[in-house]
């Protein structure tokens, strides 16, 4: 009998599972959370960096994220086959998968008129006070964003330069802090009212100008009677007026008015930056000026405490690296975090719609 020589026997199943498709809805929720958190953290770092840069007399800047495109593609393939020149036949096979991610970020530097609007234009009272309607502490809001209320000044010693001529006129600085403190108490008690009103012209169309009014409700609570009285006196409330209109301006108000001289974002950031304590060697090297000591009173202390060290912080709400030092806000410092968050909100309110100028587009592949 003739012996049969084994021959190659090959059976192959070409890729039975292959293709590519977009992940679509599967990634939507996860990407939204991740990119939202990344943009928020990036904005926090940008604000803190601008504070530090101003502390060093460096130029602040803004870079807005205008567009974010994230594309995903999943490719997968598999094969199964048998190949052998001997018996029995032994199968073989394999699987392969590849996930491709290609995000693209578009940034726009804020320059020209948009820069001037964001940094130099005072925030109007009709924009500021409605924030207190949403529950933001009015005392912190006013201390950050207001230079004066009527004749009461918020110009503290830390904003003065060495050698400046002292102002011996009665600027009623202490009255300003007494007022903001009492307004906060009335706000917490529900006795402070802020109304935003938009009038219409003869055609029925709403005007672009808004009016904001402040009212103080009477109370029979003995603990609040004196606070209501003092607050009305400081704001020159007249018995003829149930509410007072808040307008932008400085000096003695007209009857029925409260004049607020609000700050620009550059002034807000500058007031906070002046109070940041920096390492001694940064002062001795001439990189910046020393921290100005002020009386040991609560109203004179910085609203935002910023720490510094050569070592990267482990418990930071936000941190940046500048001139060989880490600067950060402590994660457990609630008061500083609250004031910083309000500053972030004010920054967003200061921005304006702008015509796209120079754009920076960065594609990233993984």
What are the tens digits of pLDDT across the range 15-55?
A: 444 444 455 565 666 666 777 788 888 889 999 999 999 99
Give dist(CA 212, CA 331) in Å, integer: 35
Residues 85 and 148 in one domain: no
Residues 139 and 99 in one domain: no
Among the listed residues 12, 9, 13, 2, the one whose alpha carbon sits nearest the alpha carbon of residue 86? 9
pTM of the model: 0.76
Residues 65 and 147 in one domain: no
pLDDT value at position 14?
A: 42
Is 365 contained in some domain? no
Tokens of 240: 């003829």
Query: Quick one: three-class SS letters along 193-245?
Result: EEEEEEEECCCCCEEEEEEEEEEECCCCCHHHHHHHHHHHHHCCCCCCCCCEE
Is 332 contained in some domain? no
**Which of these ranges, 45-54, 103-112, 157-166, has the smallest mean pLDDT?**
157-166
Is 208 contained in some domain? yes
pLDDT value at position 204?
A: 59
Is 280 contained in some domain? no
Tally the domains of the chain: 2
Residues 68 and 195 in one domain: no
Instruction: Look at the block and give the residue holding tokens 């009527």.
Output: 150
Domain span at 94: 9-111
Q: Kindly tell me if the per-residue pLDDT of 244 is higher than 80.
A: yes
Instruction: Look at the block and give the residue holding tokens 């530090």.
Output: 52
- CB crowding 162-171: b at 16 or more within 10 Å, else e: eeeeeeeeee
């Amino acid at each position: 009998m003739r012996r049969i020589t084994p021959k190659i026997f090959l059976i192959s199943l070409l890729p039975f599972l292959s293709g590519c498709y977009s992940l679509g809805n599967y990634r939507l929720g996860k990407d939204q959370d991740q990119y939202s958190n990344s943009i928020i953290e990036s904005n926090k770092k940008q604000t803190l960096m601008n504070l530090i840069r101003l502390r060093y007399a460096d130029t602040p800047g803004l870079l807005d994220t205008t567009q974010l495109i994230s594309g995903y593609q999943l490719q997968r393939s598999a094969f199964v086959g048998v190949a052998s020149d001997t018996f029995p036949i032994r199968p073989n096979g394999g699987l392969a998968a590849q996930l491709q991610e290609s995000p693209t970020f578009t940034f726009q530097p804020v320059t020209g008129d948009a820069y001037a609007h964001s940094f130099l234009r005072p925030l109007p009272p009709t924009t500021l006070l409605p924030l207190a309607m949403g529950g933001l502490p009015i005392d912190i809001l006013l201390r950050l964003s207001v230079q004066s209320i009527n004749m009461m000044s918020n110009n503290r010693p830390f904003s003065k330069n060495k050698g400046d001529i002292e102002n011996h006129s009665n600027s009623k600085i202490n009255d300003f802090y007494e007022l903001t403190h009492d307004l906060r108490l009335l706000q917490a008690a529900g006795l402070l009212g802020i109304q935003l009103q938009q009038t219409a012209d003869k055609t029925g169309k709403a005007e672009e100008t808004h009016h904001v009014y402040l009212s103080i409700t009477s109370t029979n609570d003995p603990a609040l009677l004196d606070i209501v009285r003092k607050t009305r006196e400081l704001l020159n409330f007249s018995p003829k007026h149930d509410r007072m209109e808040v307008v932008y301006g400085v000096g003695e108000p007209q009857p029925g008015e409260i004049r607020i001289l609000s700050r620009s974002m550059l002034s807000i950031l500058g007031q906070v930056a002046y109070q940041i304590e920096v390492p001694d060697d940064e002062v001795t090297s001439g990189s910046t000026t020393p921290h100005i000591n002020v009386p040991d009173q609560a109203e004179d202390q910085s609203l935002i405490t910023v720490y510094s060290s050569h070592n990267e912080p482990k418990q930071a709400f936000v941190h940046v690296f500048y001139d060989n030092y880490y600067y950060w806000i402590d994660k457990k410092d609630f008061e500083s975090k609250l004031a910083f968050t309000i500053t972030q909100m004010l920054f967003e309110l200061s921005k304006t719609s702008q015509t796209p100028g120079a754009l920076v587009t960065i594609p990233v592949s993984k």
